[in-house]
Amino acid sequence: MKIRLSDSFTYKKLIRFTIPSIIMMIFTSVYGVVDGLFISNFIGRTEFTSVNFIMPFLMIFSAVGFMAGTGGSALVAKTLGEGNNEKARNIFSLIVYLMIGIGLLFTVLGIIFLKDVTLALGADEEMLPLCVEYGRIIMLALVPFMLQSVFQSFLVTAERPTLGLIITIAAGVTNIVLDALFVAVLEWGVSGAALATGISQFIGGITPLIFFILPNKTKLRLGQAPFDIKAIVKTFTNGSSEFMTNVSLSVVNMLYNNRLMEIAGQNGVAAYGVIMYVAFVFISVFLGYAIGSAPIVGYHYGAGNKAELRNVYGKSLRLIGIAAFLLTLSAELLAYPLSAIFVGYDAELFDMTQRGFMIYSVSYLLAGFNIYASSFFTALNNGFISALISFARTLVLQIICVLCLPFLMGINGIWLSIVFAEGLSLILTICCFSANRKKYGYA
């Protein structure tokens, strides 16, 4: 039975509707992990460190795609809920065309200035050429990568979350197979890993583009896109929290790398890289649920159905609480084997990674509520509160913690920074939920 945004959602319906987005995000993160596995085990520690060193900078560009996808889908879902399908299609088309243009501009600028940025971030002479080699190849696939981020949200809004899942699985499998071929068999080094990722991003971004160009049975299709500055501003405002999340994570990761280079050298950066690869897999469960449930919230907000808003809000918090407990427990139990898979060849690096992994994993108990809160307010078209939660969680509080805690606890202070930041963010999240419950009627 097809589930529509206009339905009343039971736990079963809510899980069924969001599970494709959750699996989609898990696959997206898993094929990033595969890159790290092949680079670490088949190329070397320096190459692995170099890729993790430049990756936060590369991810800044994709943040615009996430912003357009989440902010735009919230606006489109609200417009569909109001019954204005033609306007929804126009806004959708405008956002896609705009992202293609911005992506091309970023590609040119990124390739030109990549070396200078890498030097400014503090890469040493050994890492510099590897960072530039990997980064320039990835930049060539930036437009489809941005589109992939955009369509992850819009396929859910178009009531086609399963199609989004299939496309993501196809892109992920392509990346894994090409990693094995280019890195393990042909021994093309970091260039091979970058090519594998770039080709997979073309599949993830161009396939849904073709779907929306061709006739389809959804309410969304690419067509005319009258210039609508209000829609663009609203999209960017709605999605500002997701933009801040991705940019902030990149900035904070660069700060983490810088602090770790000072405290523990390349081993510290490598250990953090492993933790980040695995962390994204766990966090992707919360991100996937947020992406999958946001159009439901946006639709019923547009339709003025406060009863269903209360229903989805309450059920979502309970589901996130259960998932947070299970994910944290799983992460603690898997810290040893996962660390061994990545860096088991180096005893000192393995011990550092395992210890950091177990400390960092406590943050999963808290992160899901903060991620959902930011997405929830984006879906309500309240970009300010969404951005406030995201900005505090991913930038301000983490920077304060990562600058201060290492003075008190050394390298363990770096691993604990995320736990303290998520805890303080949860206090802000609770305050925002409480202050706005009467305004929107969700509790």
Task: Say if residue 150 is exposed, middle or buried (CB neighbours under 10 Å; 0-12, 13-18, 19+).
Answer: buried
6 falls within a domain: no
Task: Say if residue 269 is exposed, middle or buried (CB neighbours under 10 Å; 0-12, 13-18, 19+).
Answer: buried
pLDDT at 285: 92
Write out the residue range of the structural domain in which residue 306 sits. 11-440
Q: Supply the angle between the helices 142-157 and 161-179 in degrees, to the nearest 10.
A: 150
Per DSSP, the three-state class of 345 is coil
> Letter for the amino acid at 336?
Y
pLDDT at 286: 93
Beta strands in 45-94 (DSSP E): none
pLDDT digits (tens, 9 = 90+) for 368-397: 999 999 889 988 888 788 888 888 887 788
Distance CA 394, CA 364 (A): 14
1 falls within a domain: no
138 falls within a domain: yes
pLDDT digits (tens, 9 = 90+) for 219-253: 888 888 888 888 888 888 877 766 776 777 777 77
How many other C-beta atoms can be found within 10 angstroms of the C-beta atom of residue 260?
Answer: 24
171 falls within a domain: yes
pLDDT at 202: 92
DSSP at 217: S
Q: Are 440 and 301 in contact (CB under 8 A)?
A: yes
Q: Are 79 and 238 in contact (CB under 8 A)?
A: no
Distance CA 21, CA 172 (A): 14
Please state the domain count of the chain.
1
> Letter for the amino acid at 139?
M
Whether 300 has a pLDDT exceeding 80, the answer reads yes
Q: Are 67 and 239 in contact (CB under 8 A)?
A: yes
42 falls within a domain: yes
3-state SS track over 242-289: HHHHHHHHHHHHHHHHHHHHHHHHHHHHHHHHHHHHHHHHHHHHHHHH
Per DSSP, the three-state class of 8 is coil
Contacts of 191 (CB under 8 A, 6+ apart): 133, 134, 137, 182
Distance CA 399, CA 440 (A): 32
Confidence of residue 415 (pLDDT cuts 50, 70, 90): confident
pLDDT digits (tens, 9 = 90+) for 178-228: 988 998 888 898 889 889 989 998 998 999 999 999 887 878 888 888 888
pLDDT digits (tens, 9 = 90+) for 20-30: 888 878 877 77
120 falls within a domain: yes
The token pair that represents 427 in the structure block: 């206090």
Distance CA 10, CA 387 (A): 29
